[in-house]
Amino acid sequence: MSASNNYLNKPTTINCNGQLIDMTQPRVMGILNVTPDSFYDGGKYNNGTVILSKVQQMLSEGADIIDIGAYSSRPGAQHITMEEEWERLAEVLELVRKDKPDALLSVDTFRAEIAKRAVREFEVDIINDISAGEMDENMFATIAELNVPYIIMHMKGTPQNMQQNPVYKNDMVFEIIDFLADKKRQLSLMGVHDVIIDPGFGFGKTLEHNYTLMNRLNEMKLLELPMLVGISRKSMIYKLLGTTAEEALTGTTALNMMALERGANILRVHDVKEAKECIRIFSKVLVV
């Protein structure tokens, strides 16, 4: 196995506030959900001490990026207002930025105004948008103005309806590639080039869709962009195994290894230590 079979053909970096992050080496994005209803960790991080302890744990275990979300995107999640999302988010960003001023922070939001305030008020480094601009027509222009790396994810519908019998007209993987390619083109015309793709496991996809997507994940290389994969403790694991999200760590690690083999550059996870170990083993196999 050679590195050329797994990573982008050319060395690729993303520019985070002047810091160049090499995407040819797999990275780990640690998840911090400050929501009461996220599918795995909803309600866990509801006070400053617990939040800072979790951030410190993830960083000490090797997280390259901390992704903070204040809007639950689990299937059927309750829709909240922008004001409520910002109220949750601002308090946490202030806390984390003060305690960890050098940490690379990503904000998980589909709202342009949230993205703008997060970057301008708290120097957030990356915006992670589950809708790739589909849920806020101002998002692309905002990203171009902010000049920060932008993660675009494929999703059919919204978190409220995405799992209600998702259907693809033709080839699902090609449809995802076409969607992301069109977004890449639009962003490029606006001067946005630090773009990361996310194929959107679990977002408008059945169990079979998810495993087909994993099997053919290497086809995403056609887009010639760094790729984030987020399958941590998702229902595609525990529904297949007949277990729960709490019991899905082994399955997560197995799928993370498959994702790395198929070209993933960033693993978005709840369990940083295990993801880093997975990457270390994967990287060792490439060089022996």
Per the residue annotation, which of 54, 111, 262, 268 is the catalytic one? 268
Reported as half-sphere exposure (CB side, CA atoms, 13 A), residue 27 has a value of 20
Cβ atoms 137, 111 nearer than 8 A:
no
* Phi, psi torsion values for 54, nearest 5 degrees: -65, -45
What is the overall mean pLDDT for the chain?
90
* Phi, psi torsion values for 26, nearest 5 degrees: -60, 140
Instruction: Look at residue 55 and tell me whether its pLDDT is greater than 80.
Output: yes
Q: Is residue 117 flagged as an active site residue?
A: no
Among 3-12, 92-101, 228-237, 256-265, which stretch is predicted with the lowest mean pLDDT? Answer: 3-12
Which structural domains are found in the chain, ordered by start? 24-287 (3.20.20.20)
Residue bearing the bigger pLDDT, 4 or 82: 82
pLDDT digits (tens, 9 = 90+) for 117-129: 999 999 999 999 9
Instruction: Look at residue 68 and tell me whether its pLDDT is greater than 70.
Output: yes
Instruction: Look at residue 38 and tell me whether its pLDDT is greater than 80.
Output: no
Which residue, among 30, 3, 10, 18, has the nearest Cα to 266 in the 3D structure? 30
Instruction: Look at residue 185 and tell me whether its pLDDT is greater than 60.
Output: yes
Q: How far is CA 52 from the centre of its chain?
A: 21
Question: What's residue 79's pLDDT?
Answer: 81
Instruction: Look at residue 4 and tell me whether its pLDDT is greater than 90.
Output: no
Question: What band does 253 get if pLDDT is binned at 50, 70 and 90?
Answer: very high
Distance CA(259)–CA(229), nearest Å, equals 7
Instruction: Look at residue 288 and tell me whether its pLDDT is greater than 80.
Output: no
Instruction: Look at residue 65 and tell me whether its pLDDT is greater than 80.
Output: yes
Question: What's residue 190's pLDDT?
Answer: 97
Q: Is residue 111 flagged as an active site residue?
A: no
Instruction: Look at residue 177 and tell me whether its pLDDT is greater than 80.
Output: yes
Instruction: Look at residue 230 and tell me whether its pLDDT is greater than 90.
Output: yes
Among 5-9, 159-163, 185-189, which stretch is predicted with the lowest mean pLDDT? Answer: 5-9
pLDDT digits (tens, 9 = 90+) for 122-175: 999 999 999 999 999 999 999 999 999 999 999 987 776 667 778 898 899 999
Per the residue annotation, which of 205, 233, 234, 276 is the catalytic one? 234
Q: Is 259 exposed, middle or buried (0-12, 13-18, 19+ CB in 10 A)?
A: buried
Question: What band does 252 get if pLDDT is binned at 50, 70 and 90?
Answer: very high
This prediction has a pTM of: 0.91
* Phi, psi torsion values for 162, nearest 5 degrees: -65, -25
Distance CA(103)–CA(108), nearest Å, equals 16
- DSSP E strands: which ranges in the chain? 13-16, 19-22, 27-33, 65-69, 105-108, 126-129, 150-153, 195-198, 228-229, 266-269
Question: What band does 44 get if pLDDT is binned at 50, 70 and 90?
Answer: low
Question: What band does 211 get if pLDDT is binned at 50, 70 and 90?
Answer: very high
